[in-house]
């Protein structure tokens, strides 16, 4: 009897914890276009932007798989890569010249789209 009450209490605690625990941010997909990257998330993204030695960086705590590709910025090829750094994911864009970026986030069909427009500095 006490064992079944303990199991019941444990299961109720798990359900309550699930209600109050937000979903982890998950990078679902990356689309590369001319001078922009489009990142798709399951929840609203909380992203940190930085610039390190000419590399444009987006960093966020979340889940996702590593991937890479290329895009055109001002007629030149730039490489992008999603890299796992511990519990964080980092999107790195490397071009011949330092880059600046503008971020726009919006909800589309229950998913969040983060558009990163890139241009040379």
Instruction: For residues 11-37, give the mean pLDDT.
Output: 83
CA 45 centroid distance within chain? 6
CB 20 within 8 A of CB 56: no
Mean pLDDT of the chain: 89
Does residue 4 sit within a domain? no
Band (93; pLDDT cuts 50, 70, 90): very high
Domain residues for 74? 26-120
Q: What is the DSSP letter of 28?
A: E
Residue 8, in any domain of the structure: no
- Overall number of domains in the chain: 1
Report the distance separating Cα 74 and Cα 87, nearest Å. Answer: 33
Residue 70 DSSP code: E
In a domain, 59, yes or no: yes
Residue 81 falls inside a structural domain: yes
Greatest pairwise CA separation for the chain in angstroms: 72
Q: What is the mean pLDDT of residues 50-64?
A: 87
pLDDT tens digit string along 66-88?
999 999 999 999 999 999 988 89
- Note whether residue 1 is domain-resident: no
pLDDT score at 22 = 67
Mean local confidence (pLDDT), 106-120: 94
Percent of the chain predicted with pLDDT > 90: 55
pLDDT tens-digit profile of 1-20?
A: 788 888 888 888 877 776 77
- The answer to whether residue 18 is domain-embedded is no
Q: Does a structural domain hold residue 38?
A: yes
Mean pLDDT across the stretch 20-42? 88
Residue 50 lies in a domain: yes
Q: Which token pair is 114?
A: 């983060």
CA pair distance 4, 7, nearest whole angstrom: 5
- CA–chain centroid gap for 90, Å, is 8
């Amino acid at each position: 009897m006490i064992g079944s009450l303990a199991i019941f209490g444990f299961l109720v605690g798990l359900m309550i914890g699930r209600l109050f625990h937000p979903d982890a941010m998950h990078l679902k997909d990356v689309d590369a276009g001319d001078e922009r990257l489009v990142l798709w998330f399951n929840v609203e993204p909380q992203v940190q932007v930085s610039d390190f030695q000419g590399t444009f960086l987006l960093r966020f705590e979340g889940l996702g798989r590593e991937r890479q590709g290329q895009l055109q910025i001002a007629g030149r090829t730039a490489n992008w890569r999603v890299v796992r750094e511990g519990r964080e994911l980092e999107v790195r864009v490397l071009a011949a010249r330092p880059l600046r970026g503008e971020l726009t986030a919006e909800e589309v069909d229950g998913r969040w789209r983060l558009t990163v427009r890139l241009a040379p500095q």
